[in-house]
Structure 1
Amino acid sequence: MGFGKMFLLNLGLLITVAYLANVIYKYAFTKISFRMNYILSVVLFIFAGWICMKFGFQLSDNVIFDLRIVPLIIASAVYAQPFTLLIIGVGIGLARLTLGVNDAAIAGLINLSILGVVCAGLNIWMRRSKYRLAVKGLITIAIVNVINTINISVFGVIPVKTYMLEIMPITLPLTLVLSAAFALILWDFQLERRQTLELKHANELLRKQTEELRTAKIVLEERARQLAQASQYKSEFLANMSHELRTPLNSIINLAQIISENESGDGEEADEDTPNYGMIIYKSGQDLLGLINDVLDFSKVEAGKLEVIQEEVVIAEMAQIMEMHFEHAANQKEINFEIRIESGLPCTILSDAQRIGQILRNLLSNAFKFTHRGQIKLEIRKAGFEDMQRGEWIIFAVTDTGIGIPEDKHTTIFEAFRQADGSISRKYGGTGLGLPISRDLARLLGGFIRLQSKEGLGSTFSLYLPLTPDLRGNEPPAPVREKAMRLL
């Protein structure tokens, strides 16, 4: 009965050690490195073997019977490196020496060292074998217990006959049963722990999915808000467009009717205001054509069908065209219109003359529209160090002394269908497409538009174009583009 009680006590101690090890692992081992975790687990297995010996059945002053081989059996199914099992076997054998150095302790060291080698071989076999884990575990338990019995009979200090006839018939079945029982308890314990970890992982996955759904909902709500805002902008645009189209159309219809009535008179001379009517009709038609062209250009840019042509653009000629185009408007509004070309510029650049002219006309038209007194200046110069971080750029800067633009509207005015003042009854006309079209055309030319303006202090719109553009990219280099966006 002494063997049974002590072996059951060993089993209880092993279960306690396993439970404490799980608690320590849960709250401490997970916070340390893998290498240190590995070393501590090996020490734990050796400690489990030592505590079995410490509370084992003492047959005599030197001979102790216990379940020290059980931690080694469990380790053979835990570790992937066979050499680790040899370390655990030798470690448990050396731990036996702490309880007294004698012949029995030396025999125990030899026995555990041999069992460490055996378990290392069984570990390799288990990883390569296709048997079920339960079958492999039972085979390992049986082999280790049988070899342990043989080692004790060969190396032990107890006479072979006495051991084989009186002790082994009791210890071997007990060790087999208790080893299997402890392995089963650990397996069930690990199964429950695995289920807990799987449940924890499922909860974490569910939490992440919930967070992703919440984020997606926020994104969708923001997208819905943007769509609603875009719908509002387009509604304002259509209202503005209807107003802008109605004005020149009414002028054309009404004046054409007046001319028709004058011409249908019985030989009466034409009204002396008829030439003025014709001029108004011409101007209204030009305004109407400009509106339609803006809409068509914007739709082409949005569809990606607006193409640019690489050709030599004469800078002086472009300046002369702008002067001729806006000279009359400057005289009418009594505004000083000045064009400056920096010395040292190349005579020509490689770009699209039509698109450059379209951008400059949009910028200058806005300048004349919003400037009532003072001056408007078109300056053509080469970008200096303070303008760009790298690369060679030419700048077409349109500066006016007009009403200016509030800082919170600097980005808004470059959005399609948006204006600084979106109401129909605003003082200044227009559809709000000029600047978005100019911005997109600048990108197609490999450049961008930069704005500097304060409300009441005028504005400067600067068109940046590369002197050696790469039209395939259709965008300026990243540092230039980022700086431009910060300035807008």
Structure 2
Amino acid sequence: MELSKMFVQNMAVLVTCAYIANLIYKYMIFRTSGLVKYISSVLLLIAGGWAAMLFGFPLLEGVILDMRLVPLLIAIFVYKRPPIVFLVGLGIGLTRFIFGWNEAAVAGFINLTLLGVAGALLNVWLRRKTWSFGRQVSIVIVLMNLLNCVNIFIFGVLPKDYYLSHILPYTLPTSIVLCGLFAFILRDFQKDQQRAVALEEANALLQKQAEELGKNKIILEERAKQLLLASQYKSEFLANMSHELRTPLNSIINLAQFISDSAEDTPSDEMARYGQLIYHSGEDLLKIISDILDLSKVEAGKLEIVNEAISLTEIPNWLGPYFELTAQRKHLEFDIRIGDGLPDTIHSDPQRVQQILRNLLANAFKFTEKGRVELSIYKAEEPQLKGEWVVFAVRDTGIGIPPEKHFTVFEAFQQADNQVAKKYGGTGLGLSISRDLSRLLGGFIRMESVEGEGSTFSLFLPLS
């Protein structure tokens, strides 16, 4: 009876140790790395076996009866690696030598080492079964306690008759009951730990979702600002477009009415000049309408692209006569340069290439009051892109574009500056159409600009 009371007291010590170990793990080890937590848990189990021996019952000189088996039982259910289970048994066996080096200590070491081997084998066997926790616990507790008694009987220093008659009948059933009780206490500890982990993970998830909501709110606010800005740009565009359309229309209507009212009294040379004005106003109106139609076709994906041979030597003949007059009128230098190493022809859409270059040159002349405008044609290799490219670079010494406007000048309805648009006129669609056309031709447009110094717009087209 005294042995049963001793086992109960020893188990109380282990429960206390388990609670302390749980607190240590919860507040000191839990937030460390996975490897540190793993090693710490093994050391805590070995320390539990040592504590059981420390508060064990000294039966004879050198002989200690205790519940050192319990930490090994825990290892069987906690770890998925059998060598770790064996290591726990070996570690508890080695701690037996702390209490003296004698025959009983050697027997205790052999006993725990063999129990560690048996625990590792049970660990492998249980992971192949789908039994309930209660069934697994019952089988492991009974088998390990029986094996513990067999080891003590074989390797122990107690007289075998005395052990079988005076110790085994009390220690075996008490150990089985207490181990079962401790297993369910441990199970409750484990569930609390799992709930704490689940709660912490839920809090982390909620924190992450709150951060995502905050980011999404910022994105939505930014998009709302962009929509508001786009609406403002469209309003400005429509107001500017209304002015651009009315100007040539009013000229045509007023001149036509004047000619109709005073045709007989108007000299023929003056009549011819009025006709020229009507013709140019009609051209301006047609260009505005063509830009709007081209933009709508590109956005609808209905703009047809043809692939024909384009002679690079003919490009000066396309553009030179038209813009030379503009250069003379504004007292600007104008030059077209063709670099070395270019092929005679490239394959693209002649009409669209001419449209892009005219838009770029028209902008260059529009925003340049003094200095020069230059078109350079040369071959280039892009490190980020495969193949060779022909580059049409339009450089000017005009007003330039502020850095904050570099990303908006190519967008439809968004001109670099509304005040500039009012001063220089135009719909602001030229660059947007040119960018879209360059993409349809397999190329792109690159811009370099410094406010007050000028701009360079380069059209890149693939040579092959």
TM > 0.5 fold call:
yes
Q: Which residue of 1 aligns with 2:233?
A: 233
| Partners of 2:359 and 2:97 in 1: CA distance | 96
| Residues 156-167 of structure 1: pairs in structure 2 closer than 5 A | 156-167=156-167
CA contact (8 A) 1:236 1:423 kept: no
Partner of 2:82: 82
Answer whether contact 1:93 1:113 (CA < 8 A) is retained: yes
Using the alignment, how far apart are the partners of 1:295 and 1:340 within structure 2?
A: 31
Paired letter, 1:346: P
Q: 1:405 aligns with which of 391, 401, 406?
A: 401
Could you say if the C-alpha distance between residues 20 and 313 of structure 1 is closer, same or farther in structure 2, counting changes exceeding 3 Å? same
Greater mean deviation of Cα atoms: 162-171 or 200-209? 162-171
Distance 1:425 1:340 in 2: 30
String of CA shifts for 1:63-89, please: whole Å, max 9, x gaps: 221111111222111122233333333
Paired position in structure 1 for 2:392: 396
CA distance in 1 between counterparts of 2:4 and 2:105 reads 22
CA distances 1:39-83 after superposition (whole Å, capped 9, x unpaired): 443343233222212221111113221111111222111122233
* CA-to-aligned-CA distance 1:337-377 (integer Å, 9 cap, x gap): 33233344322222222121111111221223233444433
Q: Is the 8 A contact 2:240 2:422 kept in 1?
A: no
Q: Shift of the alpha carbon at 1:218?
A: 1.0
Q: Secondary structure at the match of 1:128?
A: coil
Q: Distance in 1 between matches of 2:291 and 2:386?
A: 34
Is the alpha carbon distance of 1:369 and 1:16 closer, same or farther for their aligned partners in structure 2, counting shifts above 3 Å? same
The C-alpha deviation readout for 1:293-335, integer Å capped at 9, x for no partner, is 1111122222333343332211121111101222333344444
Task: Kindly indicate whether the alpha-carbon contact (under 8 Å) linking 2:107 and 2:155 is maintained by their aligned counterparts in 1.
Answer: yes
Q: Is the 8 A contact 2:402 2:451 kept in 1?
A: yes
- Match of residue 96 from structure 1: 96
Amino acid at match of 2:199: L
Do the aligned partners of 1:6 and 1:55 also contact (CA within 8 Å) in 2? no
Alpha-carbon distance, 1:253 to partner: 1.8
Structure 1: state its 5+ residue gaps.
Answer: 469-488
Corresponding residue SS for 1:223? helix
Letter in 1 for 2:85: L
| From 421, 428, 444, the counterpart of 1:448 | 444
Residue 377 of structure 2 is aligned to residue 380 of structure 1? yes
Work out the CA distance in 2 between the residues paired with 1:126 and 1:430. 82
Deviates more, 1:208-217 or 1:275-284: 275-284
- The answer to whether the Cα contact below 8 Å between 1:449 and 1:463 also exists between their aligned partners in 2 is yes
The C-alpha deviation readout for 1:424-483, integer Å capped at 9, x for no partner, is: 982211010111212222233333333344444443333233333xxxxxxxxxxxxxxx
Counterpart pick for 1:459 among 437, 452, 455: 455
- 1:152 alignment partner AA: I
Equivalence map 1:309-458=2 (5 Å): 309-383=306-380, 392-423=388-419, 426-458=422-454
Distance 1:301 1:242 in 2: 22
Using the TM superposition, give the Cα deviation of residue 15 of structure 1 relative to its aligned residue in structure 2, in angstroms. 2.4
Q: Which whole-Å CA distance do the structure 2 matches of 1:85 and 1:384 have between them?
A: 65
CA contact (8 A) 2:324 2:334 kept: yes
Question: 2-side partners of 1:100 and 1:29: how far apart?
Answer: 32
- Counterpart in 1 of 2:148? 148
Report the equivalent of 1:293.
290
Other-structure match for 1:485 = none
Going from structure 1 to structure 2, the CA distance change for 1:325 and 1:33 (only over 3 Å counts) comes to same
CA deviation string 1:392-420 (max 9, x = no partner): 33332323344443444333322221223
Secondary structure, in 3 states, of the residue corresponding to 1:349?
A: strand
CA distance in 1 between partners of 2:384 and 2:138 (Å): 77
Helix, strand or coil: the match of 2:157? coil
The structure 1 segments of at least 4 consecutive aligned residues displaced by more than 6 Å after TM superposition are 387-390
Q: Secondary structure at the match of 2:8?
A: helix
Once residues 347 and 442 of structure 1 are traced to their aligned partners in structure 2, the CA distance between those partners, rounded to angstroms, is 21
Code of the residue aligned with 2:173 in structure 1: it is: P
Q: What aligned pairs does 1:221-300 form with structure 2 within 5 A after superposition?
A: 221-262=221-262, 268=264, 272=268, 273-300=270-297
Q: Which moved more, 1:78-87 or 1:294-303?
A: 78-87
**One-letter amino acid of the structure 2 residue matched with residue 59 of structure 1:** L
Q: CA deviation at 1:270?
A: 5.3
Per-residue deviation, 1:210: 0.9
Q: Relative to 1, partners in 2 of residues 1:383 and 1:94: Cα closer, same or farther, differing over 3 Å?
A: closer
The code of the aligned residue for 2:345 comes to T
In structure 2, what residue type is equivalent to 1:460?
T
Q: Tell me if the contact between 1:262 and 1:271 (Cα under 8 Å) persists in the aligned partners.
A: no
SS of 1:459's equivalent in the other structure is strand
Q: What RMSD in Å do the two structures reach over aligned CA positions?
A: 2.8
Letter in 2 for 1:140: V
Query: What secondary structure is seen at the aligned counterpart in 2 of 1:70?
Result: helix
Aligned partners of 2:421 and 2:95: how far apart in 1?
96
Q: What's the secondary structure of 1:305's corresponding residue?
A: coil
Q: 1:371 to 1:144 in 2, by over 3 A?
A: closer
Q: What pairs with 1:96-245 in structure 2 (closer than 5 Å)?
A: 96-245=96-245
**Deviation at residue 5 of structure 1 after TM alignment:** 4.3
* Match in the other structure for 1:478: none
Give SS of 1:414's match: coil
* Cα displacement (A) at 1:19: 3.0
- Cα deviation, 1:68-121, whole Å, max 9, x if unaligned, reads 111122211112223333333343334333323444333333433333333233
DSSP 3-state at the match of 1:339? strand
Q: Say whether 1:21 aligns with 2:18.
A: no
Identical-residue share of aligned pairs (%):
55
Name which of structure 1's ranges 116-125 and 199-208 shifts more when overlaid on structure 2.
Answer: 116-125
Identify if the C-alpha distance between structure 1 residues 293 and 158 changes in structure 2 by more than 3 Å, giving closer, same or farther: same
State the alpha-carbon separation in 2 of the partners of residues 209 and 68 from structure 1: 47
- Rounded to whole Å, the distance in 2 between the matches of 1:399 and 1:110 is 91
Distance in 2, matches of 1:79 and 1:455, equals 69
CA positional deviation for 1:215: 0.8
Which one is further off, 343-352 or 53-62?
343-352
The alignment's TM-score, normalised by the length of structure 2, stands at 0.90
The secondary structure found in structure 2 opposite 1:430 is coil
CA–CA distance in structure 2, aligned partners of residues 298 and 388 of structure 1: 29
Q: Please say if residues 381 and 387 of structure 2, whose CA atoms lie closer than 8 Å, have aligned partners that are also in contact.
A: no
Question: Do the aligned residues in 1 keep the contact of 2:352 with 2:437 (CA within 8 Å)?
Answer: yes
